[in-house]
Structure 1
C-alpha cells in the first residue's frame, strides 16, 4: 500500500487468524488462490515492528497511522491554558487547566526531510515524552533554494519536504506531544525575512536593502499570507487530516523573534502582527496564535521598561505589552538568555536577574494583558566552572524559571510553562549551539526536568498533557 493509501488512523489490521475467522468461505478461497495471506502477514509483521520497535530502528518504514491517540485541542480561559475534551459525545468540551513543561527542537523538519534520519525525530519525541514534556516548539519553515527547502519560491513548495512535515505531525501525535509551529524566521537561517525581501526585489518590488520592508511591503505580505494559507490548508499525506484540524498542533507562532533594524519600524511591526494574527484566525479557529516575542519592553511600554537587559533591547522595535495585547494573539511569549544578555555578571547575578525578568512578565500577563504567558525559549550553557548545591550553571538557571512557573501555577495565575532551548538526540550535532544538549547525558538536568513535569501534573485538578496514562513517567 502506498503512503496515500494510509488514510484511516483508527482502523486495525487483521491478523491471518482473524481473516480466516471473519472472511466468507468464497472470499477466503480467493485469498488462498491469489496467495494474499503471505503479503498480509508480511504487512502485519512490518506494522507490529514499527509500532513496537521503530524508536530503535535506523531505517525508515512506511508511516503507520492507525490507532493514533485521541487528543483534545488547547484553548485559553482568561490567564490559563485549558485542554478541551469532549467527555460525552455531543456535549460541549470539558475544560481542564493545562500547564506546560516542554522544549525546542527546531531541527525536526530538516532531519525528517533527509529520510534516512527520520528515526531521530521519533527518538527525540519519545525521549521528550519520557521526561513528561508535553509541548515541543519547532520550525514549520525553510525558505529558499536549499536541497531541503520547503518553500522554493513564493507559493512554490517541495512536496517531499512537505511530507517530511506531515511525518513530524504524525510522530508528535503518536507520542502525545503537541507542537508550536513557527512560520518564519526573523534571522537569516533557513531563509527568514531576508529571503522574502530578496524574492520581492527579484520580482521588481521597490524595497530597500533593509529587511524592515518585510513588515510593510504589500508584495512581501502577500507572500507570507500565501505561505500561511498553504500550511493551514495542507492535508496530511499520511492521515488525511488538515493541519487546521490537527489536535497535535498546540499553536501557530507568527515569527521567531521578530525585530526591526530601525526603531522607526515599530508601528509597521505592530500593524503586521495585527493583520497576520487576524489572517490566521480567519482560516483556523481551533488553534492558538502567538507572536514569537523575546519579551523586550518598548521605551514607553510600562514601568517594567527597566527590567530589559540593556538599553539596546528597547531599540529593536518589538514591545512585549503592545504586541501581545493584540486581540487575535491568544498568549504571550518570552525568551530568556541571561548568559548572553548580561555576560559579565556572576551566576548568582544572572539567576537574580532572571527571577526579576520572569516576575515582570508573569505579573504583566496576569494584570495587564490578562493572557497566559509561555517562556518559549530558556537557554543556558553548561559549564564546569561553577556548581551550586549539586546544580551546574544550566540547572541553576532552569530551576529559577521552573520555580517561578510552578509558584504561578499554584496560584492559578498567568505563568503557564517553560520550553528549554534546546534538546538534541544523538547524531544531530550539526544543529547544536552553546545552549543545546542531550538531556539524558546530564543526570542532574534530566532529574530537574522530570521533577518539573511531575509537580506541574500533580497540582490538584490540573493537567499538563491530557489524561494520565500508563506510559506517563509521572503515572502512579
Structure 2
C-alpha cells in the first residue's frame, strides 16, 4: 500500500447515526481479535496480516473489532502469549504488534474497535486480575474440575475488588496514552480508532450484582472519556443476553451520556435457537426469525436513547458443525444475508442499526486439527478463541461465497470505494 493514502476520516455520532466525515457510515465489518498478535515479530506473520487486510478492504470490510491484548498467559485454554504477562508489565513485541496493525490499517483507511478487557477467561480478562490480587486460581471452566457457575461466581468479584479495578484503570491509561512506535501518532489522535470498548461482553451476573457493576461501568466509561473525548466509546455489551436476559437492566446500565453507541451480540447455535440437523424449533428459518426479533427489539432501545447500535458479534457453524474450510457455508451465508438485509433498510431510512461485525475472520490461517479442536501454543491464529474448536465460526479467505455476499452488502450501503 502507498503511504500517500489519506488518513481515515473521524467516525462520529449525530442524530442517532454514525458519520464518516460528513457522510453516514453503515458497514459490515468483522472480529479480528488476534490482529495485534499477527502483527508482532515474535509470534506473528506480518506478510499474512498485510494480505488479510488487503483482502478485507477489497470486500468493503473496513471495520475490525480487535482485542488490545491478553492478560496472564499462564493458563490452558487461554491466549498465549499475553500482552500483560504480569500485572502492569507488558510484552514490548506484542505492543509493537498492535502498533504495526494500527499503522497498516491507517494506510488503508480502516477502523478499529479496540476492547480493553474480557469478561471471559480465554484472554485472561477480569478473572486474571482477581488471581493477581489474591483471590485464588481462576476456575477455568473448560478444565474438568471446574464448572461455569463456579467461574461466574469467581468473576463477579472483580467489580468490587478495588486493587483489581485500579490495576485495570492503569491498563486503560497505559494503552490510551500510547504513541504508535511505527508511525509516531498518538492513539488518541489517530482516527483509525473508531471506538474504545470497555470489554468483551461485560455482564451483570446476578440481580445483586447490578449496582456495583453499573458503578464500575460508569467510572470506566468516564475515565475513557477523560482520556480521549474525540473518539467514540462503547461498552462491548451483548444486549439483553448479557444482562440476565433483561432489556430493562441493559437500559439501566447504559444510561451514561459518554456511551456513544450501543452494542449487541447474538449466538443462535450457543443459545439453542439453531441446530445444523434442523431439530424441531431449531431450523435455520426459526433461527432467522428469532435473530430478527432480537435485533429489532434492541434497535428500538437504541432509537429510544437516540444512539446507533451495532451487532458487534455473531456467528453460525459450518454445515454439520464441521471445522474444515472445505465444508459448506450455505446455511451460514443465508443467515448472514437475512440479518444483513436489516442494515439495508436501516441505511435507506437513516436508522439506528449502524453495522455488523461478524465473528470472525480467520483469513489465511490454518487450524491444526487437534482431535479436540482446541488451540495450542504454536498453532496458527484463527477467528475462534483457544477454548473453542478451531474453525467452528471462522470465515476463511477461501470462503468466496461468504466474502462476495458481504461485499455486495457493503456496496449497497456505500462502504466500498
Residues 268-309 of structure 1 deviation map (CA, whole Å, 9 limit, x = unaligned): 11111111000000010111010101111688xxxxxxxxxx
Tell me the residue number matched to 2:261.
331
Distance in 1, Cα, partners of 2:227 & 2:201: 23
Tell me the residue number matched to 1:140.
68
Contact 2:264 2:309 in 1 (8 A): yes
Tell me the residue number matched to 1:103.
30
Q: Aligned ranges for residues 175-190 of structure 1 at < 5 Å?
A: 175-190=108-123
Q: Aligned ranges for residues 303-342 of structure 1 at < 5 Å?
A: 313-314=245-246, 319-341=249-271, 342=273
Distance of aligned partners of 1:297 and 1:444 in 2 relative to their CA distance in 1, 3 Å threshold:
closer
Cα deviation, residue 213, structure 1: 2.1
Normalized against structure 1, the TM-score is what?
0.72
2:107 to 154, 160, 174: 174
Distance in 2, Cα, partners of 1:200 & 1:260: 21
Distance in 1, Cα, partners of 2:307 & 2:215: 20
Mapped pair 1:70 → 2:7: yes
Distance of aligned partners of 1:298 and 1:123 in 2 relative to their CA distance in 1, 3 Å threshold:
closer
1:122 to 50, 66, 69: 50
1:354 to 287, 291, 299: 291
2:400 to 437, 443, 448: 443
Tell me the residue number matched to 1:375.
311
Contact 1:269 1:318 in 2 (8 A): no
2:200 to 246, 250, 256: 256
Distance in 1, Cα, partners of 2:296 & 2:175: 35
Q: More helix by proportion, 1 or 2?
A: 1
Distance in 2, Cα, partners of 1:444 & 1:384: 18
| Secondary structure, aligned partner of 2:126 | helix
Distance of aligned partners of 1:116 and 1:218 in 2 relative to their CA distance in 1, 3 Å threshold:
closer
Contact 1:102 1:419 in 2 (8 A): yes
Distance in 1, Cα, partners of 2:167 & 2:158: 10
Distance in 2, Cα, partners of 1:156 & 1:68: 35
Cα deviation, residue 263, structure 1: 3.2
Distance in 1, Cα, partners of 2:248 & 2:59: 34
Cα deviation, residue 437, structure 1: 2.0
Distance in 1, Cα, partners of 2:154 & 2:124: 15
Distance in 1, Cα, partners of 2:90 & 2:242: 37
Contact 1:378 1:398 in 2 (8 A): no
Residues 398-451 of structure 1 deviation map (CA, whole Å, 9 limit, x = unaligned): 11210111101111110101111101122353433411121x423322221011
| CA radius of gyration, larger in | 1
Contact 2:66 2:112 in 1 (8 A): yes
Normalized against structure 2, the TM-score is what?
0.81
Distance in 2, Cα, partners of 1:227 & 1:420: 27
Tell me the residue number matched to 2:358.
420
2:412 to 450, 455, 460: 455
User: Cα RMSD between the aligned structures?
Assistant: 2.4
Mapped pair 1:165 → 2:101: no
Contact 1:100 1:135 in 2 (8 A): yes
Distance in 1, Cα, partners of 2:404 & 2:242: 37
| Secondary structure, aligned partner of 1:210 | helix
Distance of aligned partners of 1:325 and 1:420 in 2 relative to their CA distance in 1, 3 Å threshold:
same
Distance of aligned partners of 1:393 and 1:247 in 2 relative to their CA distance in 1, 3 Å threshold:
same
